[in-house]
């Protein structure tokens, strides 16, 4: 295999041109590896990637992932992704929020976020109805505008754009208490454009190298990329800062206003004020730095995952008439069973137990088979060992401070667990009794502390 591996390395070097994106390089290397690696190498449990001078240990076996990130979760709970570059970016100036933090800060921010969302009604019927009413209004406004602008009354609607707006509007309502409508839609488009610019910059080879080795910004070839990315992040943060400071001013001017807390921003500001009054319970974590980054984290993570997964779901349904038919049949039978008239009632979360096939396609907001097949986060976010760790019963020993990441795509496409893994088969999540079944290896958003 030495000659073959040498060829792979040479071919990889040809792909690593500084103007190539990671997607282009990954596609090139995938084709190369499929040609060069023999069948006996199909299962590689642990391997190391080198990002410049940074080693990243990748785990591709589910059992090993579970032992490492769940059973020994505390030892692998450190953060690695973008933690170095965040210390030198103007907008972030350190690691705050919930995605790139660890230890007490991560625990406090995560606990606060989950509690705030529960208090706001996440998962309850009243919030579900509110979002549904907002969706109806936004869809009506969008379609009405398109019809008015059409010469003959016919319209062509891009569902991906509509999904984008609805997802962003839902998240913004949870964060700041208002949806994106015709009056402020340009703010959403501006934010999306800034986030996309960030992604394109940081996923180039220069951007990837800067993530792990920010000192490269002092070199001519990398300095322009760093300045561009720094400006893009600052521009993105300005949207969240504007909403935060506008709310602070409003609260100051309406000091005696007893209006009920309506969004996550209010909850956070309430917590900040409470800690100022009660100094003994002051965690020191409820500050503007964490608030800005928390809003950024929640919007970025929620917007992208929802939109990409829903778009893939639509694609899979369009390409598979069989699944379309079974889905429609179950929904029609449900309406007939309950004697609902057309348009009388929309489907709700409480109906899940009677709609197992629909639940397998779309489950509590998690599109099970769609998320598995679209492979949204093949490697997920990298962690860092906080102390010495042993893998594979002590065969591999990792010191503290090493980047480590689960290659969850290997679990999602394991033929032993998911036969015909490249096919869209919601049935794989239905048991013999016609009920939704849990599959342990279904980990589209990784496993362990996150």
Got the DSSP string for 149-193? Answer: H-SSS-----HHHHHHHHHHHHHHHHHHS----TTTHHHHHHHHH
pLDDT in tens, 382-422: 888 989 988 888 888 889 989 898 888 888 888 888 999 88
pTM exceeds 0.95, yes or no: no
Alpha-carbon torsion angle 231, 236, 241, 242, nearest 10? 110
- Structure-token pair, residue 407: 């290659």
Q: What is the pLDDT of residue 432?
A: 83
Q: What is the pLDDT of residue 43?
A: 56
The C-alpha atoms of residue 359 and residue 347 are separated, in whole angstroms, by 12
- Structure-token pair, residue 20: 């190539």
Q: Which of 18-22, 41-45, 149-153, 183-187 has the lowest mean pLDDT?
A: 18-22
Domain boundaries, the chain: 115-319, 320-369+418-444
Residue 265 · residue 176 · CB < 8 Å: yes
- Which contacts (CB < 8 Å, 24+ apart) does range 347-352 have? 348/125, 348/128, 349/123, 349/125, 349/128, 350/125, 352/436
Please provide the average confidence, as pLDDT, over all residues in the chain.
81
Q: What is the pLDDT of residue 6?
A: 45
pLDDT in tens, 175-232: 999 888 888 889 999 999 999 999 899 988 899 889 888 999 999 989 999 999 999 9
The C-alpha atoms of residue 391 and residue 393 are separated, in whole angstroms, by 6
The CATH superfamily holding the domain 115-319 is: Cytochrome P450 (1.10.630.10)
Helices (H), 282-392: 288-319, 321-337, 356-361, 368-374
Residue 149 · residue 194 · CB < 8 Å: no
Distances (CA, A) of 269 to 18, 248, 277: 44, 8, 13
pLDDT in tens, 326-374: 889 988 888 888 876 665 667 777 787 788 888 777 754 446 788 888 8
Residues 6 or more apart whose Cβ sits within 8 Å of residue 196: none
- Structure-token pair, residue 210: 């800067």
Q: What is the pLDDT of residue 4?
A: 45
Whether 1 shows a pLDDT value over 50: the answer reads: no
Could you tell me what percent of the chain has a pLDDT over 90?
Answer: 24
Residues 6 or more apart whose Cβ sits within 8 Å of residue 24: 15
Give the pLDDT band of residue 314 (cuts 50, 70, 90): confident
Residue 399 · residue 385 · CB < 8 Å: yes
Distances (CA, A) of 377 to 66, 233, 365, 382: 17, 22, 17, 11
Q: What is the pLDDT of residue 123?
A: 64
């Amino acid at each position: 295999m030495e000659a073959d591996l040498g060829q792979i390395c040479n071919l990889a070097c040809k792909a690593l041109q500084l103007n190539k994106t990671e997607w282009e390089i990954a596609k090139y290397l995938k084709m190369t590896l499929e040609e060069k690696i023999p069948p006996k190498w199909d299962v590689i449990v642990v391997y190391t990637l080198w990002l410049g001078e940074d080693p990243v240990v990748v785990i591709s076996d589910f059992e090993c992932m579970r032992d490492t990130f769940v059973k020994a979760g505390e030892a692998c709970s450190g953060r690695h992704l973008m933690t170095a570059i965040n210390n030198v970016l103007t907008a972030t100036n350190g690691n705050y929020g919930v995605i790139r933090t660890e230890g007490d800060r991560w625990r406090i921010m995560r606990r606060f976020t989950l509690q705030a969302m529960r208090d706001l009604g996440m998962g309850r019927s009243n919030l579900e109805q509110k979002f549904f009413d907002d969706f109806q209004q936004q869809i009506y406004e969008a379609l009405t505008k398109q019809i008015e602008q059409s010469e003959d009354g016919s319209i062509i609607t891009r569902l991906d754009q509509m999904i984008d707006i609805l997802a962003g509007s839902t998240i913004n309502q949870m964060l700041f208490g208002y949806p994106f409508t015709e009056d402020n839609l340009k703010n959403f488009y501006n934010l999306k454009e800034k986030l996309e610019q960030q992604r394109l910059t940081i996923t180039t080879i220069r951007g990837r190298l800067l993530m792990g080795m920010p000192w490269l910004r002092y070199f001519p070839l990398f300095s322009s990329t760093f300045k561009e990315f720094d400006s893009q992040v600052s521009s993105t943060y300005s949207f969240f800062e504007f909403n935060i400071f506008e709310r602070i001013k409003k609260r100051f001017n309406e000091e005696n206003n007893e209006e009920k807390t309506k969004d996550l921003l209010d909850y956070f500001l309430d917590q900040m004020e409470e800690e100022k009054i009660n100094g003994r319970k002051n965690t020191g974590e409820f500050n503007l730095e964490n608030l800005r980054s928390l809003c950024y984290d929640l919007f970025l993570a929620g917007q992208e995952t929802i939109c990409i997964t829903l778009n893939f779901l639509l694609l899979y349904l369009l390409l598979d008439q069989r699944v379309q038919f079974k889905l429609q049949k179950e929904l029609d039978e449900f309406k007939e069973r309950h004697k609902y008239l057309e348009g009388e009632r929309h489907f709700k979360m409480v109906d899940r137990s009677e709609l197992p096939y629909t639940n397998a396609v779309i489950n509590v907001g998690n599109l099970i088979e769609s998320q598995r097949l679209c492979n949204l986060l093949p490697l997920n976010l990298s962690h860092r060992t906080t102390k010495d760790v042993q893998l594979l019963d002590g065969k591999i020993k990792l010191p503290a401070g090493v980047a480590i990441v689960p290659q969850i795509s290997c679990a999602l496409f394991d033929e032993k667990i998911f036969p015909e893994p490249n096919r869209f088969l919601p049935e794989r999540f239905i048991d013999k009794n016609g009920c939704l079944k849990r599959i342990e290896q279904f980990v589209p958003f990784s496993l362990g502390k996150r």
